[in-house]
A and B are shown apart, each in its own frame.
Chain A
Amino acid sequence: MEETLAIFIASTLRLAMPLMLAASGELVSERAGVLNLSLEGMMLTAAFFGALGSWATGNPYLGVGCAVAAALCMSAVQAWLSVNLRANQLVVGIGFNILALGATTLLYRIIFGGLSREEIPGLPKLSVPGLSDLPFAGTAFFQQSVIVYFGFGLILLIWWMLNQTSFGLAVRAVGDEPRSADKAGIPVARTRWLAVLITGAMAGMAGAFISIADIHTFTENMTNGAGYLALAAVIFGGWNVGRTIAACLLFGAATALQFQLPAMGINVPTAFLLMLPYLLALLAVAGVVGRLDPPTALTLPFQRGK
């Protein structure tokens, strides 16, 4: 029983990790007033280019670099469209998601061929010396992929940046009161640009985690809605880092049940278990946790003097 619980916790962490990375990145951008519905597409693009980079160079770390670079490029276009061209952020996001699904599928078929399941060089699991042998916590926490430990570091960094630095203050100012921020001399466009790029970098890590650290290959549409779950987690988390991470862990746990319950001999229809994270996300965005209070200027482009 204890062993089962430890495995459950470990797989929850593993499944929640891409959500946590993507959601904490998206949080920065949303606090600055830009919504990236394209998160799903960024993750999928990153997962593909990560796998491609890792396969081509034979080095998974270079693969992670490729993933982050690809997602950064996409987020730069997103920032240009949302901030400079003041395009409808939701529509642009939908476009990016369609494009990402098409482009990764197309490139995958051209480069790897139809139904290849070629393994790519993946990131190793890191057993933390001294801790991984602990009876319960060892299995649960300390036998994860290196990205998991690194990812928690990045999330802490984002929390610190949003709450403890002047850049974080600027981000929140341009997301809540862009006009006042502008008058106070905060460069609204530049701050939003940086925030979207941070989202891109984190979505890149999330995509890299899925293809390079977790599955060790690329499959068509492999993110399968993880980006939307991350967006729901940000809403559920009330645009607060800690609560967003908690929401991701909840969705991760719901996903982990798919593997855990059948293994324990508990018979629940697979379809229901597959549905569970989305159902939870639906309840979450319906505000079952209380009133939602999004950044005031979320999805609203800023134009001086208007």
Chain B
Amino acid sequence: MPGRRRLMALSIPFAAVAGSMAIGLLLIAISGKSVPDTIESFLDGAFGTAFAVGASINRAVALALIGLGFILAARANLTNVGGEGQIAVGGIAATALALWPPVAGLSLGLAVILPLLAGTLAGAFWGGIAGVMKVRFGTNEVISTLLLGFVALLMVYWCVQSTALLRQPQTSSSTLPESLPIPDSTKLPSLTGDPESPLHIGLILCLLLALATAIVLQRSTFGLRLRAIGLNELAARRAGMPGSILLVAALGIAGGFGGLTGAIMLQGEQFYLKAGFSSGYGFDGLVVGLLSRGSTLGVLAGALFFGFLRSGGISMEIMAGVPSALTLVIQGLIVIAVAGSVILVEKLEAGAR
């Protein structure tokens, strides 16, 4: 039955997620912690209060944006592993602009929009570097985006270590290496108006961008060309497509999504820049992108799942004393299982046709 085979192929990511979570539970049990208590604190942190739900959805927004950029570049057969660094440069640019006095006084929402744009452009530039390296020198984008990520993380460190850059004025020896908090007028407006919930308008922005990405990938010439270049670069170039421009654009847009994520994380939740600002969202978003198998809806679903997983993981660490590194273990296992089962999926899908 072809329908059943297709269903089985679709169910593999779910099986990988379920299996990895089962291993996670097993690890909790082995470490001598109470499994029911851990699950309770996990659920509490993920869904327990309005605050928890809002925070989880905000996390999902960040992961979804990275994931959207990832699948767009993946359409051109490019693997953007630089989300972490793109978030970092986006955060730096957004902080710099939000702290620049003239910006905070702007009306018509520009005080919010300009830092968001600055973050996006900075991320696009960072991703674009990898694109240029790819088309000029043939550098594999996996290596270049990874290395650019390390450089970007150290740039954040540099920015908050030096008062000449973004560090707050040092009034005493205990002044932390952080930027000043950004002015209220540059913060993302709340979505609900409820002060209990941290949920901000980043969610709306994210849903709009998801829709736009779906349309671009499915219905536009640009999306078609990305797919063509991803399937067979040489043939696409012979057919007259501007291969180099497409590749740079794909990585640039993916980077732009990363930079926007950084700006949203800064203006929506963190409000000041500090070292380690990106805190793994780039890699989690990459996992979301990988699991979605190129589908926009898949990205949104995966982002929600990992957003709640992350919130629950943090609460698990605080309440039940189970290190949140457990969620990394689960993620790593999922990625390996999904990558390893590709052949199986292809066989099943070939059978379904």
Contacts and interface: CB of A to CB of B under 8 A. Distances in A.
Interface stretch (A179-187, A206-214, A241-249, A269-277): A269-277
A91 interface: yes
Instruction: Please report whether the interface of chain B is mostly helix, strand, loop or mixed according to DSSP.
Output: helix
A99 B143 contact: no
Given A95-B335, A271-B158, A285 B144 contact: yes
Given A228-B150, A285-B144, A109 B336 contact: no
A271 B326 contact: no
Contacts of B151: 275, 278-279, 282
Interface string B124-166: 0000000001001111101110111011001101100110000
Nearest to A270: B161
Given A102-B326, A105-B323, A109-B323, A95 B139 contact: no
Given A101-B325, A102-B332, A231 B143 contact: yes
Contacts of A77: 336
B37 to A, nearest CB: 16
Given A109-B323, A110-B31, A98 B138 contact: no
B176 interface: no
A102 B27 CA distance: 12
A81 B158 CA distance: 40
B287 to A, nearest CB: 7
A90 B79 contact: yes
Given A92-B336, A105-B325, A287-B137, A269 B79 contact: no
B58 interface: no
A43 interface: no
Nearest to B134: A286
Nearest to A282: B147
Interface in B84-118: none
A270 B159 CA distance: 11
Contact of B142 (A90, A110, A272): A90
Interface string A129-152: 000000000000000000000000
Contacts of A232: 143, 147
Nearest to B326: A106
Interface in B265-296: 283, 286-287, 290
Contacts of A92: 335-336, 339-340
Given A225-B150, A286-B137, A269 B158 contact: yes
Interface string A51-90: 0000000000000000000000000010001000111101
A99 B336 contact: yes
Contacts of A88: 339, 342
A188 interface: no
Name which of A95, A109, A275 has the most chain B CB atoms within 10 A of its CB. Answer: A95
Interface size class of chain A, counting residues whose CB lies under 8 Å from the partner chain: 35 or more
Interface residues of B, number: 46
Contacts of B333: 95, 99
A95 B336 contact: yes
B248 interface: no
A158 to B, nearest CB: 22
A279 B152 CA distance: 10
A287 B332 contact: no
A103 B336 CA distance: 14
Name which of B136, B155, B338, B340 has the most chain A CB atoms within 10 A of its CB. Answer: B340
A96 interface: yes
A271 B155 contact: yes
A235 interface: yes
B329 interface: yes
B39 interface: no
A106 B328 CA distance: 9
Given A269-B161, A271-B161, A278-B151, A91 B335 contact: yes
Interface string B320-353: 0001011111111111101110110000000000
Contacts of A97: 332
A72 to B, nearest CB: 17
A231 B147 CA distance: 11
Interface of A: 37, 77, 81, 85-88, 90-92, 94-103, 105-106, 109-110, 225, 228, 231-232, 235, 269-272, 274-275, 278-279, 281-282, 285-287, 292
Given A102-B328, A282-B147, 18 more contacts: A77-B336, A91-B290, A95-B333, A99-B333, A100-B332, A101-B325, A101-B332, A102-B331, A103-B325, A106-B326, A106-B329, A228-B146, A232-B147, A269-B161, A271-B162, A272-B158, A286-B133, A287-B138
